[in-house]
Chain A
Amino acid sequence: MFHFSNLVRSKGDPKIIATGPSSLTAADRLARGLGWFSIALGTLELLAPHRVTRALGMEGREGLVRAYGVRELLTGVMTLSVEKKAGLWSRVAGDGLDMATLLGEVRPSNPRVGTVMAALVMVGGITVLDYLAAQDVARQHDARRGRKRLYFDRSGFPKGVTAARGAAALPRPTSTPAAT
């Protein structure tokens, strides 16, 4: 199996032959997908807001679309990070804002009301995904998973704590080899 990274290994270093099961869970992967989606959409909204406003019949609101683009980029970065739970919940909140804004554009005077409806359905779908991913990620990484044990019986001192206190008290100065 060709792996680019095998090129930097020295002769005797192990090189990948076949790759196995990963520590990433399905929810982690979904979060990653949503994070990249956020980045892509954010970039579009930030750099080409006119295309968005034209398609949705909301010309003149480019500033708002740009601001939403920045929001998408921020939540995208967060969703791709280790703090993906916070990222996904902020995406859910952002989805709510998107829907409210789109609902405002559902008016008889809007010639692109069909596109707006389609966009609403799409955002609805993404919201469901964001919500499910947030819940799954929270569940999978919850510290309460598994057995709860306390370790009051693990002193590490075979002769007990009382005997251990001061058992290694060094004569000063320390007898270790000279630190610089």
Chain B
Amino acid sequence: MKALVWHGKEDIRCDTVSDPEIEHPRDAVIKVTSCAICGSDLHLFHNYIPAMMPGDIMGHETMGEVVEVGSGVNGKLKKGDRIVVPFTIICGECEQCKRGNFSVCETTNRNKHLAEKVFGHTTAGLFGYTHLTGGYPGGQAEYLRVPYADATHIKVPDGMTDEQALFLSDIFPTGWQGAAQCDIEPDDTVAVWGCGPVGQMAIRSAILLGAKQVVAIDRIPERLAMAEAGGAITINFDKESVVERLNELTDNKGPEKCIDCVGFESHISMAQPDSVLDRAKQMFMLENDRPHALREIIYVCRPGGIVSIPGVYSGFSDMVPMGALMNKGLTIRTGQTHVNRWTEDLKQRIAEGQIDPSFVITHTVPLAQGPEMYRAFRDKQDSCVKVVLKP
């Protein structure tokens, strides 16, 4: 089959690989009908996340049709079912899964010993995302083996298109969790840093959850326009001071709730000298992350407020203002998304027409164009916001 394969920094190729096979009774194999490129894939593209190996298949936003089921799937899935595959592989029966903390499932990471060394304790297995989280082949391919398939799936209701359902795999629940863990109240100003696909979903979620105002921060005009379409007030950080504007919009008190949808690859610019220093340190392996957005958030957030971090951080971040964080009494909530915690609720909202996540798709191309689309998405060319690949 064809698949998008990681060969090294900025080197993703559309290779011919052998088809995946059922290994374990709880596995299933799907024929992929749609898959997407995520901002998290860009971190791998840039080789910032440790423990990638040449030959790893990319992709963790995938859906398709079940073509083979193992003997242990116990009737939970059958051939022909249409499913979305959550990016977190879950067993459904461990202590964490039972609490709804699916992204830290204790069972599914097949390289637990590595994760324990690096994180202290293991987290869930993830598709197409480093050997620290199991090194499971990803779904930017014609076929995908789904481990623990009896639990790791989302059935697609009849009548829902691929485009409407696909983002239940990751970015929709990610944006939703980012907003939900802010405990939004009717008087709240919610500020969202980053208007990529995750930021767009977080903005819509904060609107649905009833924030008084939602403020969106980025520098890319087409993404800011999309944020405005979703009901946000926008700040272009190339043109205006984020801190001043946010204070202006909140009677000088700062937003109660801040969501970091940027992550550790904050934009590098001379206007933000800390980002240049971070980049230099990254180059010589003195620091892993560029946490400019996070520093700004801690600085501008209202005392007693909540900082929600769906954006990915990879390792060590320097000069995070712990003094401000502590003295202002901020609450931090973060994590890879507990996808299945939100599934039924969000599926319902799509079915009812409350939201249609397909608005974010700007490019739909065959799988073979994947390598060049990684570039276009990274370089923000052709007004690219979200790429869907059709194998």
Residue numbers in A under 8 Å from B223 (CB-CB): 151
Q: Is B387 part of the binding interface, using a Cβ–Cβ cutoff of 8 Å?
A: no
Which of A24, A151, A174 meets B226, CB within 8 Å?
A151
B2, B231, B380: which contacts A161 (Cβ < 8 A)? Answer: B231
Closest approach, in angstroms, between the C-beta of A10 and any C-beta of chain B?
6
**Which of A64-72, A110-118, A124-132, A141-149 forms contacts with chain B?**
A141-149
B348 shortest CB reach to chain A, Å: 10
In the assembled complex, A155 has its CB within 8 A of some CB on chain B: yes
Q: Name B1-49 residues within 8 Å CB distance of A.
A: 1-3, 5, 7, 9-23, 27, 45-46
Asked whether B200 lies within 8 Å of A156 as measured between CB atoms, the reply is: yes
Q: Is the CB of A12 within 8 A of B145?
A: yes
**Is B225 a contact of A151 with CB atoms below 8 Å?**
yes
B306 → chain A closest CB, angstroms: 12
Shortest CB distance B31–A (Å)? 14
Contacts of A135 in B (CB 8 A): none
Q: B391 CB to closest chain A CB, in angstroms?
A: 13
Separation in Å of the A172 CB from the closest CB of chain B?
7
Bound complex: CA A146 to CA B385 (Å): 13
> How far, in angstroms, from A19 to B371 measured CA to CA in the complex?
12
A14, A77, A161, most chain B CB atoms within 10 A: A14
Which secondary structure characterizes the binding site on chain B? mixed
| Given A23-B10, A151-B225, A167-B208; A14-B100 close (CB under 8 Å) | no
Given A23-B371, A145-B381, CB of A156 within 8 Å of CB of B210: no
5 closest A-B pairs by beta carbon, nearest first, are A146-B382, A177-B100, A5-B55, A166-B210, A169-B210
B209 CB contact (under 8 Å) in A3, A6, A170: A170
Cα distance A35–B100 in the bound complex, in angstroms = 48
Listed stretches A36-44, A52-60, A78-86, A97-105; interface member:
A78-86
Contact indicator per residue, chain B 167-184, by CB within 8 Å of chain A (1) or not (0): 000000000000011011
What are 11 of the A-B contact pairs (CB < 8 Å)? A5-B53, A8-B135, A14-B3, A14-B57, A19-B15, A23-B375, A78-B283, A151-B229, A151-B383, A165-B207, A176-B341
The interface residues of chain A lying within 8 Å CB-to-CB of B53 are 5, 8
Residue numbers in A under 8 Å from B226 (CB-CB): 151-152, 154
Residues in A whose Cβ lies below 8 Å from that of B185: 172
| A7 nearest CB across to chain B (Å) | 9
Given contacts A6-B55, A149-B222, whether A158 and B353 have CB atoms under 8 Å apart is yes
Please state if A164 and B10 are interface contacts (CB–CB under 8 Å): no
* Interface contact A177-B341, CB-CB below 8 Å: yes
Q: Which residues does chain B contribute within 8 Å of A78, judged by CB atoms?
A: 283
Q: Is the CB of A23 within 8 A of B11?
A: yes
Number of interface residues of A (CB under 8 A): 64
Contacts of A152 in B (CB 8 A): 225-226, 228-229
Q: Does A109 contact B (CB under 8 A)?
A: no
Q: From known contacts A156-B355, A157-B354, infer whether A164 and B208 are also in contact, taking CB-CB under 8 Å.
A: yes
Report if B92 contacts A (CB, 8 A).
no
Known: A5-B53, A168-B349. A157 touches B204 (CB 8 A): yes
Q: Is the CB of A21 within 8 A of B13?
A: yes
Q: Chain A nearest CB: distance from B52 CB in Å?
A: 10
Given A77-B284, A161-B231, output 10 extra A-B contacts at Cβ < 8 Å: A5-B56, A15-B17, A16-B55, A23-B45, A28-B10, A142-B379, A150-B225, A158-B355, A172-B185, A179-B100
Whether B183 lies near A177 (C-beta < 8 A) is no
Residue of A nearest to B225 (CB): A150
* Residues of the B chain whose Cβ atoms lie less than 8 Å from the Cβ of A77: 283-284
B14 with A156: CB separation less than 8 A: no
Q: Specify which chain A residues have a CB less than 8 angstroms from the CB of B296 in the assembled complex.
A: none
Q: Within 8 Å of chain B (Cβ to Cβ): is A108?
A: no
Q: Is the CB of A24 within 8 A of B354?
A: no
Measured between beta carbons, the chain A residues less than 8 angstroms from B55 are 3, 5-6, 9, 15-16
Pick the residue among A4, A155, A178 that contacts B99 (CB under 8 A). A178
Q: Which of B16, B21, B22, B268 contacts A83 (CB 8 A)?
A: B268
User: Is B359 in the interface zone, CB < 8 Å from A?
Assistant: yes
Bound-state CA distance A156–B232 (Å) is 12
Q: Which of B15, B180, B356, B380 contacts A18 (CB 8 A)?
A: B15
Residues 112-152 (chain B) with a chain A CB within 8 angstroms: 131, 135, 137, 141, 143, 145
Note all chain B residues with C-beta closer than 8 A to A82. Answer: 9-10, 46
| Known pairs A12-B21, A150-B221, A156-B359; A165 contacts B13 (CB<8 A) | no
Is A107 interfacial (CB 8 A cutoff)?
Answer: no
Distance in Å: Cβ of B102 to nearest Cβ of chain A = 10
> Given the complex of chains A and B, what is the CA–CA distance between A19 and B2 in angstroms?
10
Contact B229 A177 (CB under 8 A): no
Nearest opposing residue in chain A for B201, CB measure: A156
B54 within 8 A of A: yes
- If A147-B383, A150-B222, A174-B183 touch, does A17 touch B371 (CB 8 Å cutoff)? no
Taking A16-B15, A147-B382, A154-B359 as contacts, is the C-beta distance between A11 and B207 under 8 angstroms?
A: no
Q: How far is the CA of A147 from the CA of B21 in the complex (A)?
A: 41
A169-B209 contact, Cβ under 8 Å, with A155-B231, A156-B359: yes
Q: If the complex has contacts A23-B10, A174-B180, are A12 and B27 also in contact, measured as CB distance less than 8 A? A: yes
